């Protein structure tokens, strides 16, 4: 193939290449840099090439001029192929310039287009209720996503399910009760963020990617807690009305910021203390190992919730008041409920005691009390990170659901 420059015309010899073998690629490439009205002389020897070239020119909006001498034809470049992209815009900067790529308020009709793509004007209307960077972004989102992907673990191989231990039958039942409670919380943690994924503009892809992995994390948590509950043939324990009432308020919260706050900052934050407690005090190595792995995941979920709300409160300080109101409202909504069921709390004590000996029970009881204190100070610290004063944080933490999550 040769292209000769005889401005404003050029010529191309595509030899015996036909339209059924990709001739259009070479023609398009040769026409690309010609101005509208510029001429391209085409030399080619494929059978019936002139007939096919004429059809192609009609389809592409170029003029076909009968050739002379060595030329099969002259193509006069038309304007149609340019017009289609005349009002196209780029969806943020190109990915090669990642730092500046995310725009504050991407138009909804960019839809699923890759960030950085050139977007043809028009097309279907998309509806994204969560459409601004302020409402979803976190400075740490890219780093958290990379960490989340690197830290995925396989429940089958990451946990030593066969590690021997000889459980006391009642302690084992307490473990099954705690697992039953954890699974219920995990189901809430899986579905509450899932509600928002399709509401967030795909331009903020790191947020979607991170939430998708977070949901996959919760799926694994449901699996491992289920396997542990029934590992030694125990039945699942109890699920209470008050537990379900508390968790349902998380699923019912329609505002992304408030839902992240109640679920990730307060709920999963409190849950983190519970997991660390299980990692330290569970009576068997399998439960301790599970709790440790799950806690690593939950720490990321909390970090994103915090990071995102820090980002949003930086530009919208009034959000803080709405967060405080959300805690109070949820507290009032749940005030007539029993809070954490006694069986779960007693199971935690017995699990941390490891036996029915009175001195062990005393130790288990003290550990469970310490857990409550740690949960409170953890919540307080996280609230302070969002800009609440020490006194406000203490008051708000005290209003958090007694169900822990």
Closest CA to 174 of 223, 228, 222, 218: 228
Distance CA 66, CA 41 (A): 10
Closest CA to 193 of 304, 296, 102: 304
Distance CA 27, CA 25 (A): 5
Confirm or reject binding of residue 184 to Fe ion (CB under 5 A).
Answer: no
Q: How far is the CB of 167 from Fe ion (least distance, A)?
A: 24
Residue closer to Fe ion, measured from CB, 40 or 302: 302
Confirm or reject binding of residue 234 to Fe ion (CB under 5 A).
Answer: no
Residue closer to Fe ion, measured from CB, 72 or 275: 275
Q: How far is the CB of 379 from Fe ion (least distance, A)?
A: 16
204 by Cβ neighbours in 10 Å (0-12 / 13-18 / 19+) ranks as buried
Among 172, 184, 206, 218, binds Fe ion (CB under 5 A): 218
Residue closer to Fe ion, measured from CB, 189 or 247: 189
From the list 67-75, 113-121, 191-199, 216-224, the region that binds Fe ion by CB under 5 A is 216-224
239-268 positions binding Fe ion, by CB under 5 A: 268
Distance CA 27, CA 42 (A): 8
Distance CA 303, CA 288 (A): 23
Q: How far is the CB of 272 from Fe ion (least distance, A)?
A: 9
Distance CA 380, CA 372 (A): 12
Q: How far is the CB of 218 from Fe ion (least distance, A)?
A: 5
CB-based contact 30:10 (threshold 8 Å): yes
Confirm or reject binding of residue 220 to Fe ion (CB under 5 A).
Answer: no
Residue closer to Fe ion, measured from CB, 301 or 308: 301
Residue closer to Fe ion, measured from CB, 110 or 261: 261
Beta strands in 53-150 (DSSP E): 63-66, 73-76, 89-90, 118-119
Q: How far is the CB of 165 from Fe ion (least distance, A)?
A: 24
Residue closer to Fe ion, measured from CB, 11 or 140: 140
CB-based contact 131:137 (threshold 8 Å): no
Q: How far is the CB of 169 from Fe ion (least distance, A)?
A: 28
Confirm or reject binding of residue 221 to Fe ion (CB under 5 A).
Answer: yes
CB-based contact 63:76 (threshold 8 Å): yes
276-315 positions binding Fe ion, by CB under 5 A: 298, 301
What token pair was written down for 126? 């998309």
# of chain residues touching Fe ion (CB under 5 A): 7
Q: How far is the CB of 121 from Fe ion (least distance, A)?
A: 41
Confirm or reject binding of residue 189 to Fe ion (CB under 5 A).
Answer: yes
Binding site for Fe ion (CB under 5 A): 186, 189, 218, 221, 268, 298, 301
């Amino acid at each position: 193939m040769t292209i000769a420059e005889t401005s404003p015309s050029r010529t191309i010899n595509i030899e015996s290449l036909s339209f059924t073998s990709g001739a259009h690629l070479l023609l398009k490439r040769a026409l690309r840099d010609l101005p509208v009205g510029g001429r391209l002389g085409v030399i080619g020897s494929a059978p019936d090439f002139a007939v096919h070239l004429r059809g192609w020119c009609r389809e592409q909006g170029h003029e076909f001029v009968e050739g002379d001498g060595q030329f099969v034809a002259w193509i006069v470049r038309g304007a149609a192929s340019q017009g289609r992209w005349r009002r196209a815009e780029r969806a943020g900067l190109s990915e090669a310039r990642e730092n500046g790529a995310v725009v504050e308020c991407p138009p909804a009709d960019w839809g699923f287009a890759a960030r950085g793509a050139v977007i043809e004007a028009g097309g279907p209307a998309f509806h994204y209720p969560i459409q601004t960077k302020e409402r979803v972004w976190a400075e740490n989102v890219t780093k958290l996503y990379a960490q989340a992907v690197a830290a995925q673990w396989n429940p089958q191989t990451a946990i030593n399910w066969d590690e021997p231990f000889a459980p006391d039958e009642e302690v084992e039942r307490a473990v099954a009760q705690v697992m039953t409670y954890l699974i219920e919380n995990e189901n809430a943690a899986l579905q509450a963020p899932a509600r928002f994924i399709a509401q967030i503009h795909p331009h903020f892809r790191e947020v979607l990617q991170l939430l998708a992995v977070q949901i996959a994390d919760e799926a694994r948590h449901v699996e491992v807690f289920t396997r542990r509950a029934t590992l030694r043939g125990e039945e699942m324990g109890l699920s209470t009305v008050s537990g379900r009432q508390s968790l349902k308020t998380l699923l019912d919260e329609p505002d992304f910021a408030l839902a992240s706050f109640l679920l990730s900052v307060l709920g999963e934050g409190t849950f983190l203390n519970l997991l660390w407690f299980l990692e330290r005090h569970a009576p068997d190595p399998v439960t301790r190992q599970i709790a440790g792995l799950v806690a690593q995941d939950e720490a990321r979920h909390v970090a994103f919730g915090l990071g995102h709300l820090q980002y949003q409160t930086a530009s919208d300080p009034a959000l803080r008041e709405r967060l405080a109101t959300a805690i109070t409202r949820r507290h009032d909504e749940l005030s007539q409920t029993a809070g954490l069921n006694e069986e779960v709390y007693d199971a935690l004590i017995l699990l941390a005691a490891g036996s029915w000996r009175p001195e062990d029970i005393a130790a288990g009881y003290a550990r469970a009390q310490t857990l409550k204190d740690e949960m409170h100070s953890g919540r307080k610290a996280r609230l302070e990170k969002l800009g609440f004063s020490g006194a406000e944080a203490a008051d708000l933490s005290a209003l958090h659901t007694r169900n822990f999550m």
